[in-house]
Amino acid sequence: MKRSLLQSIGIIIISGALGIAVNAFRAEGIPLMERWQEKVLNEQLTGGLPAVSLKQVKEVYKSGDALLVDARDPEFFEQGHIPGAVSLPVRDFDSVFPRLEEQLRAAPRVITYCDGASCEMSVELTEKLLFAGVDWVEIFTGGMQQWQGAGQPIEEGR
């Protein structure tokens, strides 16, 4: 009895170690530790709406797999925005949305942003877009502050 118990424990330990080792070397491995602080902060900032990280925004910026939407007022957009982004100021939503509606609906993914973590315009814009029936809208909570802070390119003008 004692011997079989020790063998069972040994098999469990070896299996666990082998599973962790295989997971560590797989390209699609499951992270053993989540970045809980970042997740909790994003959830608090977005009120539970889906959020994306700087890394994810960099990836879609390079691939073109998302439409980036700046929620700030036009004068701030013109001073500098993520290249390729469109301006949809949350305060002018009702007048600007109809012009961008087709582009927003055709996009495989829409990511809103504003100044940074303290700015709530991207959250409000995301809610309005979802209510208007635009699919797969997410928020980049780091916004322009994080984008610029990471040395990413900026585009000026319209």
Please check whether residues 125 and 59 belong to one and the same domain: yes
Please check whether residues 125 and 89 belong to one and the same domain: yes
Confirm whether 124 is domain-assigned.
yes
Reading across the β-sheet that carries 110-113, which strands appear in turn?
51-52, 137-140, 110-113, 67-70, 86-87
Please check whether residues 24 and 40 belong to one and the same domain: no
pLDDT per residue of the chain (158 residues) written in tens, 0 to 9: 778 888 888 888 998 888 887 777 776 676 665 554 454 445 545 566 788 999 999 999 999 999 999 999 999 999 999 999 999 999 999 999 999 999 999 999 999 999 988 889 999 999 999 999 998 999 999 999 999 999 999 999 87
Neighbours of 76 (CB within 10 A): 17
**Residue in 50, 62, 158, 156 with CA at minimum distance from that of residue 110:** 50
Confirm whether 158 is domain-assigned.
no
Please check whether residues 44 and 92 belong to one and the same domain: yes
Please check whether residues 26 and 60 belong to one and the same domain: no
Please check whether residues 120 and 64 belong to one and the same domain: yes
Please check whether residues 72 and 140 belong to one and the same domain: yes
Tokens of 57: 């925004």
Helix (H) or strand (E) holding 86, with range, is strand 86-87
State the residue range of the domain holding 10: 1-32
- Residues 88 and 100 sit within 8 Å (Cβ to Cβ): yes
- Residues 70 and 81 sit within 8 Å (Cβ to Cβ): yes
Question: In this predicted structure, what is the pLDDT of residue 61?
Answer: 93
Please check whether residues 11 and 79 belong to one and the same domain: no
Please check whether residues 4 and 53 belong to one and the same domain: no
Which ranges constitute the DSSP H helices of 26-120?
36-46, 54-63, 74-79, 93-106
Question: In this predicted structure, what is the pLDDT of residue 15?
Answer: 86
Give the total number of structural domains in the chain. Answer: 2
Give the pTM. 0.71
Confirm whether 156 is domain-assigned.
no
